[in-house]
Amino acid sequence: MLTERTRGVFVISATPFTDDGDLDLASADSLVEFYLEQGVHGITVLGMMGEAPKLTFAETITFVQHVLERVAGRVPVVVGVSSPGLATLRDVTKAAMGAGAAAVLVAPSAGLRTDEQIYAYYAGVMEAVGPSVPVIYQDYPQSTAVSLSASNFNRMVKAFPQLVMLKAEDCPGLGKITAIREQAEREGLRRVSILVGNGGFYLPQALARGADGVMTGFAYPEMLVGVYERIRSGDPQGAEDLFDRYLPIVCYEQQPGYGLAVRKEILRRRGAIRSARVRAPGTSLTKADREELDNLMRRLARRLEEDATFRR
């Protein structure tokens, strides 16, 4: 089970499909092994980049149970259970926790506008999943259009003991991390874990602001691990130097509407999955996109080869 002391790199897993658009459980196996080989501290499935809304309920349960069986307790697994309806959220949570999940990730329902509406929604979430389930608040207003204030988050921290983590993806969001930490310290509140997302954008700065790690799906998770470990060992300059090597691909992956297709193509090229298929409705890379990615990946490989400091 995750706690408020959880730290490290939780990679957001892609959901592999065959070229025909079916779930590819064999690639799910190879993807899990790929992530673990890169040294991640945890895995999150069915996040927003995991194409969760495109899965049927039966596919969701099948995929979650399959991944948990493959991981076999080697690292904690978080399951995204966000849903417009609390009944579905409850049922997926029950299946996930029963199969060995460590926590559930919940984004606010679209349409919430006020602090009171957000608070009431999460009160309903906590009641639906039960008091023993660790819950992570996913703060991603670029997708949900729901804006979370630092004070409202800390209000929920006080009210809901099972709220153990904030997945911080507001943009700009560094100031919110600072505000949450400062208010918690000032008022003597429980300190909960903060993991940042957004493909690793601003990762060194977020760690310096009080984040405890990262939860995102960047296709080179070894960079995320390396940056985190350098920060933890007291080498912030080395962390930024490593981050700089990968920054062009971090940026390329962040293209709205294309990021997932880029990420899956990189994972395919790295041998982690067999197909880069994004399930419809979704995008695929053009010839020009693939050529740009060719160049970016070659440049990265050359930079890493030239600088032995950053070879794994």
Reported as a single tens digit per residue, the pLDDT across 76-104 is: 999 999 998 999 999 999 999 999 999 99
Residue 149 domain flag: yes
Whether 310 shows a pLDDT value over 70: the answer reads no
Q: Confirm whether 185 is domain-assigned.
A: yes
Query: Is residue 2 included in any domain, yes or no?
Result: no
Query: Is position 265 within any domain?
Result: no
Average pLDDT over residues 272-282: 96
Q: pLDDT category, 155, cuts 50, 70, 90?
A: very high
Domain count, the chain: 1
Q: 146 Cβ partners below 8 Å, 6+ apart? A: 107, 108, 109, 110, 111, 112, 113, 118
DSSP letter string, 98-162: HHT-SEEEEPPPTT--SHHHHHHHHHHHHHHH-TTS-EEEEE-HHHH--PPPHHHHHHHHHH-TT
The residue segments making up the domain with residue 125 are 8-235
Q: Is pLDDT above 60 for 285?
A: yes
What global pTM score does this model have? 0.96
Overall average pLDDT of the 257-263 stretch: 94
pLDDT tier, 257 (very low <50, low <70, confident <90, very high otherwise): confident
Which CATH number do you get for residue 20? 3.20.20.70
pLDDT the model gives residue 311: 58
pLDDT class of 312 with cuts at 50, 70, 90: low
Output the pLDDT for position 48.
83
